[in-house]
Every structure is written in structure tokens, then in C-alpha cells.
Structure 1
Amino acid sequence: MALIRQESIDAVLEACDMTEIVAPYTTIRKSGSTYKGKCPFHSEKTPSFTIDPVRKLYHCFGCGEGGNVFRFIEAKEGLSFGEAVKWLADKYGVRLEYEQSSPQQEERRRLRERAFSLLDQAASFYTRTLWESPRAAAAREYLRQRGFSEEVIRRFRLGFSPAGGKELLEKAKAKGYRQEELVRAGLAGERDGRAYDRFRGRLMFPFTDHRGRVLGFGARVLDDSKPKYLNSPDSDIYHKSDLVFGLGNARQASIGEDRIYIVEGYTDVLALCQAGINNAVASMGTALTESQLKEVSRYTGNVYLAFDADVAGQKAMMRAQELSRRLAIEVKLVRMPPGSDPAELVVSGGGRERFLKLADDALALLEYQVQAALAAADLESAEGRVKAFGALKPILANAVNAVERDEQSRLIADRLRLSPENVAYLLESGARVGTAPDAGGTGRRVLSHDEITERSFLSVCLAQTGEAGRYLQDMTESYFTTAANRSAFNWVRERIGGIQSGSGSDMTSLPPEDPAQAVMPELIIRSETEPYSPQALPELFLRLSAAELLRRIDSLKSSLGDGDDEKDRFRELARLEEKRRRILEHIQSGDFSDT
């Protein structure tokens, strides 16, 4: 696909009104040269979300989410970078120009667009068959018995595939589609060189992306035939493990309500939608994948699982706990009555209110696991409490939320009759270095002391550009401990050196995958909103210098005893330690006038 020209991206950025873009998602108020409000990416009571309207940047000091206006639309609308640029260009009437693409790229784009068109027309064909063909009477009766209205059936574009075996194939060919296109789209199969409709005599459920484009189908038989469910094969467009059913319908409601329900089956989604609960999607079984959880978390950080209360459902919940920790999102469990699923619950008379009451009483997965482990243990015996202690350690180690983990540790202490010392041991020995969340419970990784110092230094450099150059010119990437901070250091040094223009388009000159994208909004906003004393820059420089020397010293110590130049290394070690000692004394003196 042809790339959008940088000049067009800059024109879109120039046309955007950042406050107008953010306003539909949260209430913001002017605060000096910036705007502030509650973060649209996580729940909070005190506003920590800041917008720089001139540079078109945002940053949340609570959860760490930040970026430019393109990143904001990517995150809130679930779009790629190119799609976000087009979305904003359409909104502000900017005409986009594209880089010249190769004939091969244009052919791939053309075939992809034809595949989308073919799949959409196939969905329309199946829908017409469902409503108009006598052969679909059993499918209509099945849906009627399940209690689904025509409105919800049409909303999700349900259909029926004729059992004949070639009807879709012939209609598609009549419209100019080739046999290989139908096979590639998963609509036809081939046997001995002959093609046939892949789906025959089945109730059809279209899978769509967040934009509502049909990607493939799930198909259910209405008798005892096998397999009961048949899905489109994986293709360039359709990947079952990445998709959830109903996302096109649920996306806006999930953003608006800041929560999404994941259920097991298609009919659960339909039943909830009919009951007025539009923010539900289906994982098509209990095998919830990381890709599925990552996809829904683009629209909200509050995910509610409403799986059947059976063994498979329980295993899926345990899997979700590990995934939620890895993705740093909040997952809660809606506890369904035994033997019941969401569709049965809302159709059988419980309705919307019953389901939402269960959702309000949902347990965080950590709390559910702790309760399950305690319930399964013999807490009356010392041996049983020891076993429970061992089972609970890894559970707490996987906690996403530090506040929630502390609450559960207090419960464990009470139930297991532990001393405070043992509770501390449980937490410390179970936590994983480098993945600890912050104390605010947002799931953001806690920064090391060195990382905090590095980011503070770079923020002050942006605030005090006149003085920063003389410190930056002699520094190297070795002063910074992460890829994001090293990349940000290079960006700041170039900008202060006059290579960058200093306009709001600076962020767009960084590739979307550049590690600095994760920290630059924070650095820029901090530099413009936080007061820094004149001694902040030299003090932070000295602290970075001391930390960099310590890393070199540790590395040199580890190499001693290996090689013929050990005397030289001892002398170098002594020199570095003396240099670091003088720097630490300088810091302790508090006098930075000659730094």
C-alpha cells in the first residue's frame, strides 16, 4: 500500500485541534498553557491527563499513556497509524498525497480490496438467503426459538449458506470474481481441481474488524452433522486466534462505558445486545488468546470475563490472569450461576438488570484465585496452611495491581494466621523483578532509580536548552540504561543542537516503532509544566555520571582474573573509583556552581 507523504502528515497535524479531538472522550479544562482532565485511558478520581495544544501532545502522569494526536486516535479508535492520519484528514478536510508505489504494491492493494468486497458481498448473499429462501426455514426457526429479534439478527448480519454446494461460487463468478479469489478468501474449497462452496447448509456468523469490514465467517450446523462449527481458514485477512466476534458492534459502546465483556459464544453476544448490553464480544470458546485480549484492550482497560461456570471456563480464567499481568490490564470475573451462560441468563427472565448486577459484583481475577486457593486448602491444620502458603505465592507474584495485591495479602494473613514478617516474605519472594506495577494500581511498570534520574535530566534539558548543550555534547548513550531513554537522549541532543526545528511535528519524525515514542510526550510536557531550579541540571548530570561510572566499575570487576592485562585493569578500576568518589562528594556538597 502506498505510503502517505510526510508533507501530508505535517499538514494534517497542523490542521488538527488537539482539544477538539480529545473533548469527546473526557472533560478538559484550561490550566495555564495546557489543558488538564481525567485520563480517558484509565479510571481515576484526580485529573492527571495533560494536553499540550500547541505541540498536539498528551501525557497521563497516572498510567503513563502518551503521544501525539495521531497516537491518540490510534489508541481510542483502534486504528493503525496510516488509518489515523486518514481519519484526521477526513475530519479536517486535508487532501492526502502518497509516495509513488511499485506495481507489485498496487497489485497487492487491489487484490486486498477485492477480497474485502467479495467477503462483504458473500455476507449479503447469506443474509438474503436467510430471510428469503424456504431452505432457510429451519435456521429462522432456530433463531426464533432462541428468542432473537429480527433487529439484532440483522445488526450482526447473520445469514444462511445454501446446501447446494455451488450457489455462492456461481454468483461470485458471474460478478467477475475468479475461483482462486474465492478459495483465497476462504469461501470455496477445491477437490480434484473442482471448486465447491466451503459453507453448506449452515447458519452464518460474519467476523468483522473494528471498522465493520467482513474478514471471515463462523458457521453452525442445525442438525447433528459434524463438525458442529466450521470457521474460515486463516488467510491474509482472517486470523481466528486474533479476532473476537462482535467487535464492530461493541467498539463504540466499550469506549463510552470504559468496559468490555468477553463471553464464549456468538449467541451470548446476540442475547446481551438484545438486552441492551452492546459492549460484549465472544472469544469463540474458552481458549482466550493474548492477541484477542490485546485487541479488546485497545478500547478499554477494564475487561470482564463472563464464561460458563464449568471446568473449561475456570481454566480460561486462570490463563487470563497470566495474560492480564503481561498486558497490564484489569480483568474481572463475572460469576455466572452454575449451569448457566449469559444468553440463558438474560433470555430466561433475568434480563439486563440481572447480568449487570453480576457484573457489578465481579471479582478481580486475583481475588478469585486467592479465594479459590483458600477454599481448597485445609486451613485448620498447620500442614494445610503451609500448603496454602505455597499455592498463594505464585498467585500474588502474577498480580497486575499493587493495591489489590496488598489487600489480598491482608486477607491471606488473617486466614492463614501469618505474622506480618511472613506476609512480607510472601510478597517479596513472589514478586518478579522488572515487572512490578506502580502503587497506584495502573499496571504500569515501576521505573528504576536510574531510569527516573535519566528522564528527569532529559526533561530539564528541554526546559533549560541554553545550558543543556554543554552537558549533552560530551555524553554518550552509555549514560542511559534503557532503549527508550537512549533513543530519547539522541532526540533531545539533536533538537537542542539545532537539527530539529522545535515545532510540534518533531514527534512525527520518529518512526512509530522508535522506543523514544514511549517517553517523549512525558519529557516534553514535564519540561513545560514543572519548575526546575538552576542547580537541577548540573546535579542530575553528576548523578548520571556517577551511575555510569558505577556500571563501568562493576563490569571491570567482573572481568578481573581473566587475561594478561590485569595490572592495567586494576589501575583503571582505581582511577574510576576515585573519579566516582569525587563526584559523590561534589553532589553531597550541594555546590554546583562550577559544574
Structure 2
Amino acid sequence: MSGKIPKYFITELLFRTDIVELINTRLTLKKYGKNYQTNCPFHHDKTPSFTVSYEKQFYYCFGCNAHGNAIDFLMQYEHLNFIESIEELSIIHGITIPFEKSIPNNVYFKKQKLYFLMEKICKLYNKNINFTHLANQYLIKRNINKNMIDFFLIGFSSLNWKNFYTKLNISKEFEQELLINNIISINKEGYTYDRFQGRIIFPIQDHHGRIVGFGGRSLNNTLPKYLNSPETDIFHKRKQIYGLYQVKKKCLKPTYLLVVEGYIDVITLTQYNINYVVSTLGTAITSEHIQLLFQNTDIIIYCYDGDDAGKNAAWCTLKKTLPYISDKKTVKFILLPNNEDPDSIIKKEGRKKFQTRIDNAITMAKFFFKNMLKNINLLSDDDKFHLSVRALPLINTISSDTIRIYLRQILARMIGILDDNQFEKFLYEKEIKKTKKRQFQIKRTPMRTLIGLLLQNPSLAKIAPSIIKFKNLQVEGLPIFLEILQTCLDNPNINTGQLLELYRNTKIINILKILSRWDLMIIQEEIQNMFLDLLMNIYNKVLQKRQEYLIAKERIKGLKMNEKKEIWSINKALSKK
């Protein structure tokens, strides 16, 4: 934690967080006994192997070994770093992170400044739309109503920057922040100006609704036609989806997401009650975009113009998406008529006909082979070979065995492999053999079992005998056990997730994680007895070793008075066994 965030705060944050609720907003969990299960989001999982424990506030996948607490889940699932995960949980619970004041240039505080400034600028842009004839004319021409202006916070950057900037009313410190992040610029004469000046503004929001950047559309033929905010600590085009916040406001887990190309497309379709529309920010789709989309739905429907550029873009998108397709995650495609975009065609056809286009979207397999068969003559052996050479590497990028085999089956029949033996050979000769990564194994010992029991059931600390008599015993692993035991005693309501968090970035965290998910093969009713028995057996074995040593010493050269007293007390303790 590098001393940046107090441990007590992280423990409190995890105490407030229900890991089941957190994960269930992102995945669909089903109750299974006292735990919850679902298909693992971190590997291709045919049967549910991802388990979430409410009692331990911990998750574990029996397939790929992914595991951890609420912080780890956000780091793995949403690709956040440690501080970003803490920030995410803090926002959920509405509390501020108490960073240590000694940390200079804290990225968290820089980001808070940017959020504050973006919000102020957005409000001014939004107010400005009402007083600008040019902007209103444009919106009227595009048939965008007042509800959509408010819903998407559409604004306008004033042609009169000086007047606009005065209304912003910010300190020199904040002005410097805007300059550093290229949100405003300085011209040759030394005057500050807005890079969006004279443009319709489309605020870009993150999943919490915070303004992270802007898209600007030129109204006076200034090039480029569309302009996005520069990259900052809070804005990364490769990871941002426009309209996703608005979709999630209406439906937390949408059945599908319709991906279009422009801001206006999103707004117009939403106005026509197509409520699952998002877009990338005028950029080609990235792997980050695809992962984010699949985190929010099982079906992505890409909508492209029907011209050659649109078809080529759709094909490139499919190739990028193939590695992320699974038995539950798939994509479809809509190719619009030439010279049409979603905004224009829904105005011509109306909602009902456009919804029919969505319902009849081209499936992934059909779209894949439609593109593969371009310029291919299936009567030509050379073309069949060329088809196989082009198609197989792409099919092999799909992680799902089922889908991969299904596409190969279609391909085999296309190139004329109908014989069962030939088909089997074709089907599997190119199969990449997946060797399961050998997990690090550690030997089971009574001490490790004891530590595992305590990690998985921190409340056992309450029934442990006084630790004073254990402190001077020389047993491997005992200092670790006693330290964890003391931590549990100091924090009576601590759970597994919180306990492990206290040891993040320590030398023993890896072994503790292994022990925390060990199958100890002990029924619930016997856990307390087993814990106490193990503890006393370890204590007695140490006493027996000391007893044997003292007896041997007495035979050879005799014992001192204090050693005689010690052997007497050992004999007394062992007689109570």
C-alpha cells in the first residue's frame, strides 16, 4: 500500500462492502448452499466454477485459480489498479479516501481536481446552449428534443471565449490544471482559448456519471468535423464508451448493446426509445472497448453503414472481437443501406422497422463466412485451400471449444470434407493443446492446516487458549500463526477478505492466499474441535521434544535447578493430555 492509504480505512471499506452484492451487479450469481456460483469471468468456463462466499467475503475459481476480496475482484474484472479499486469502493459508499498528507502529487487528488473542473465546464456548456441561436438551429435541424439535451447534457462552447472563461470563475491553480491537461490552450498572442470553441458539445461520462471528457461537433465547417478531449488521468479514448452511463440508468443488465458510430446516432436512437445504444468515440473499436461491452451484456450488436468503408470496419471489428467470444458471449451485425446511418434511417423508417433490423441482425457465424467467401470459388481446389488457410487462424483465436469446433465443421463441409475420418482429422490436427498450468503445491503440515483454519474462520480466535504459553516455542510457522491470531483478536468481526487485505504486499501473502482457499476436508461441525486439537497437539509435541532433551541431558551431565523445575512443569502439563 506504500503507506498512501491507512490500513484501518481499507478494513472499514471492506467491512462496508458486501462482495456478493458487488459481484452480482456485474455477473449473475446463483445461490448454491451457503455460497454463490456463476461461470468464471476470467477464463472460458463451461460449468460454474466461480464461487463467492458471503461469510468470508472472498471469491475463488476452481478452474483458473482466480481469487481474492472485493478489491481484487475490481482489479481483475475492471482492470483497475489498487488505488482505483479503493476509489471505486469509496464512491459506492460515498466516503472520501483519507490519503496521508505527506504524499506529494497524489494522482487521486489530481483526478478529483479534473472531475471538479470538467463538471464546472460541462454546466457552462449546457447553460450556453440555451442562449446560442446557431446551436439551437443545428439541434432543431437534427430533430433533437429538449429531453435528449438534458439527458445527454448537450452543450455549446461559446464563440466568445473571454466571456465564457470569466463565468467559469476558477483560481490560477485550477487554470494551470486546465493548461497542463490541454483542456484549454494558449495561442501565439498568449491568450487562452477553448479547443472546442464554436462547437456543439457532447459530454462523455464514466459509469458513475462523472464528466471525464467532451466530444465537439463543428457547426461552421471547421476541420476536423468532430474533436475529442485530449487524454488525461481521467479520460482514455481506448477505454471509454459514449452513452453507456445512460443505458445503465435505464437498465442495469441490458440484454444487448447496440454499438453505432456517432454521438448523434446514439442520441437520436435513444429519442426513438431504442434504449441500448452506445458508441466508441469516433475511433476504431479496441480490445478495451470489447471487454467493457461484454462486462455489461452478453450480446453486442454492431451497426455499420452499408458502404465499403462500413463493411470493412465491421470485418475488422469481428476479427478483434473473436478472442472474447464464448458460449455465453456473442456478437451480431447490422449493415445499413448505402448512404444511410442510424440517425437518418430511423427517421425514415420509424422505430418499429429499425427494431426489426435489430431482431434480424446477422449472426457471428453467418457474417464470418460471408466475408470469408468473398472472391472464393468453391469449385476451385486452390480457392478451397486459400479459404482454409485464411479461416483457420481466425477460428483458432476463439477460446470456446464448442464455437471453434462448430465453425470448423462448417468450414470442413464448405471445402468438401464429408468423410467422418477425414473430418475428425481436420477438426483436431490444428487444435492447440491446452496444458493446464501447474499450480504451486505446498506440503500439508499441521501448522499450515491450523493457519488455514484460522484464515478461513477468523472467529476461531475467540476460542483459542491464551497465546502467552506459545510465544517462546520454537516451531516453524508458529510466529505467523500467532501474528494472525493476534490480528483476529484485535479485530473481533474481521472476515477472510479483510484479513488477507491487511497482509497485501507482505512476504507471506502468497502462502496465506493458498491456505485461505485450501480444501481442509473438515465438516463445519468439527472445525472448532479440529482447531483446538491441532493447536494443543503442536503445543504438546514441542513439550515432548523439550522433555526428551532434558531427560537425555540429565543422564549425561545432570540438570540445573531451573531445568529440574522446567521438566517437572512439562511432566505436569503432559499428564493432563
TM-score (norm 2): 0.69
1:227–1:6 distance in 2 versus 1, CA, 3 Å: same
1:369–1:100 distance in 2 versus 1, CA, 3 Å: same
Q: Letter of the aligned partner of 2:257 in structure 1?
A: I
User: Are residues 1:10 and 2:36 paired?
Assistant: no
CA contact (8 A) 2:323 2:398 kept: no
Q: 1: distance between equivalents of 2:318 and 2:203?
A: 29
Q: Which residue of 1 aligns with 2:535?
A: none
> What whole-Å deviation, never above 9, does each CA across 1:306-329 have from its counterpart, x for those lacking one?
232333333333433443355566
3-state SS of the aligned residue for 1:244? coil
1:141–1:450 distance in 2 versus 1, CA, 3 Å: closer
User: Are residues 1:34 and 2:35 paired?
Assistant: yes
User: Are residues 1:381 and 2:380 paired?
Assistant: yes
Which of 305, 309, 317 does residue 312 from structure 1 map onto? Answer: 309
Report the alpha carbon displacement of residue 44 of structure 1 after superposing the two structures with TM: 9.3
Report the alpha carbon displacement of residue 56 of structure 1 after superposing the two structures with TM: 0.8
3-state SS of the aligned residue for 1:257? coil
Q: Which residue of 2 aligns with 1:269?
A: 266
Report the alpha carbon displacement of residue 22 of structure 1 after superposing the two structures with TM: 5.1
1:298–1:96 distance in 2 versus 1, CA, 3 Å: same
User: Are residues 1:508 and 2:501 paired?
Assistant: yes
> What whole-Å deviation, never above 9, does each CA across 1:48-72 have from its counterpart, x for those lacking one?
5432222111245578765323344
> What whole-Å deviation, never above 9, does each CA across 1:266-318 have from its counterpart, x for those lacking one?
11211232233444321133511233334444434543322323333333334
Which of 276, 287, 292 does residue 289 from structure 2 map onto? Answer: 292
Q: How many aligned residue pairs are there?
A: 483
Q: Letter of the aligned partner of 1:315 in structure 2?
A: N
> What whole-Å deviation, never above 9, does each CA across 1:458-514 have from its counterpart, x for those lacking one?
6x9599955999xxxxxxxxxxxxxxxxxxxxxxx9799737559603442564999
Report the alpha carbon displacement of residue 92 of structure 1 after superposing the two structures with TM: 7.0
CA contact (8 A) 1:272 1:278 kept: yes
Superposed CA RMSD: 4.4
Report the alpha carbon displacement of residue 149 of structure 1 after superposing the two structures with TM: 2.2
> What whole-Å deviation, never above 9, does each CA across 1:84-136 have from its counterpart, x for those lacking one?
5466567779x777452426235x655543332222111111111111x1xx2
Report the alpha carbon displacement of residue 522 of structure 1 after superposing the two structures with TM: 11
Which of 217, 226, 234 does residue 220 from structure 1 map onto? Answer: 217
Q: 2: distance between equivalents of 1:99 and 1:267?
A: 41
1:467–1:162 distance in 2 versus 1, CA, 3 Å: closer
Identity %: 24
Q: Which residue of 2 aligns with 1:399?
A: 398
Q: Letter of the aligned partner of 1:338 in structure 2?
A: P
CA contact (8 A) 2:248 2:254 kept: no
Q: Which residue of 1 aligns with 2:239?
A: 242
> What whole-Å deviation, never above 9, does each CA across 1:430-471 have from its counterpart, x for those lacking one?
5556xxxxxxxxxxxx5x2462xx36x56x9599955999xx
Q: 2: distance between equivalents of 1:255 and 1:196?
A: 39
1:283–1:164 distance in 2 versus 1, CA, 3 Å: same
Q: Which residue of 2 aligns with 1:566?
A: none
Q: 2: distance between equivalents of 1:77 and 1:224?
A: 39
Report the alpha carbon displacement of residue 202 of structure 1 after superposing the two structures with TM: 1.1
CA contact (8 A) 1:41 1:300 kept: no
User: Are residues 1:104 and 2:104 paired?
Assistant: yes
CA contact (8 A) 2:126 2:154 kept: yes
CA contact (8 A) 1:122 1:168 kept: no
User: Are residues 1:203 and 2:203 paired?
Assistant: no
> What whole-Å deviation, never above 9, does each CA across 1:356-383 have from its counterpart, x for those lacking one?
5444444454552223213531012333
1:421–1:142 distance in 2 versus 1, CA, 3 Å: farther
Q: Which residue of 1 aligns with 2:553?
A: none
| Larger deviation, residues 356-365 vs 159-168 | 356-365
Q: 2: distance between equivalents of 1:122 and 1:19?
A: 37
User: Are residues 1:189 and 2:185 paired?
Assistant: yes
1:405–1:264 distance in 2 versus 1, CA, 3 Å: same
> What whole-Å deviation, never above 9, does each CA across 1:11-43 have from its counterpart, x for those lacking one?
333454444555666776654443446778999
Q: Which residue of 2 aligns with 1:337?
A: 336
Q: 2: distance between equivalents of 1:174 and 1:384?
A: 66
Q: 2: distance between equivalents of 1:513 and 1:255?
A: 38
Report the alpha carbon displacement of residue 341 of structure 1 after superposing the two structures with TM: 2.8
3-state SS of the aligned residue for 1:303? strand
Q: Which residue of 1 aligns with 2:68?
A: 67
Q: Which residue of 2 aligns with 1:585?
A: none
Q: 1: distance between equivalents of 2:359 and 2:42?
A: 20
Q: 1: distance between equivalents of 2:41 and 2:437?
A: 29
1:205–1:361 distance in 2 versus 1, CA, 3 Å: same
Q: Name which one, 1 or 2, has greater alpha-carbon Rg.
A: 2
Q: Which residue of 2 aligns with 1:545?
A: none
1:284–1:23 distance in 2 versus 1, CA, 3 Å: closer
CA contact (8 A) 1:394 1:430 kept: no
3-state SS of the aligned residue for 1:334? strand
**Structure 2 gap segments, 5+ residues each:** 453-475, 489-494, 525-577
1:165–1:62 distance in 2 versus 1, CA, 3 Å: same
Q: Which residue of 1 aligns with 2:154?
A: 158
Report the alpha carbon displacement of residue 390 of structure 1 after superposing the two structures with TM: 2.1
**Structure 1 gap segments, 5+ residues each:** 434-445, 470-492, 532-595
Which of 151, 155, 165 does residue 169 from structure 1 map onto? Answer: 165
CA contact (8 A) 1:263 1:306 kept: yes
1:420–1:6 distance in 2 versus 1, CA, 3 Å: farther
Q: 1: distance between equivalents of 2:431 and 2:522?
A: 34
TM-score (norm 1): 0.67
Q: 2: distance between equivalents of 1:54 and 1:426?
A: 49
Q: 1: distance between equivalents of 2:177 and 2:298?
A: 38
Q: Which residue of 2 aligns with 1:564?
A: none
Q: Which residue of 1 aligns with 2:54?
A: 53
Q: 2: distance between equivalents of 1:197 and 1:33?
A: 57
3-state SS of the aligned residue for 1:200? coil
CA contact (8 A) 1:77 1:299 kept: no
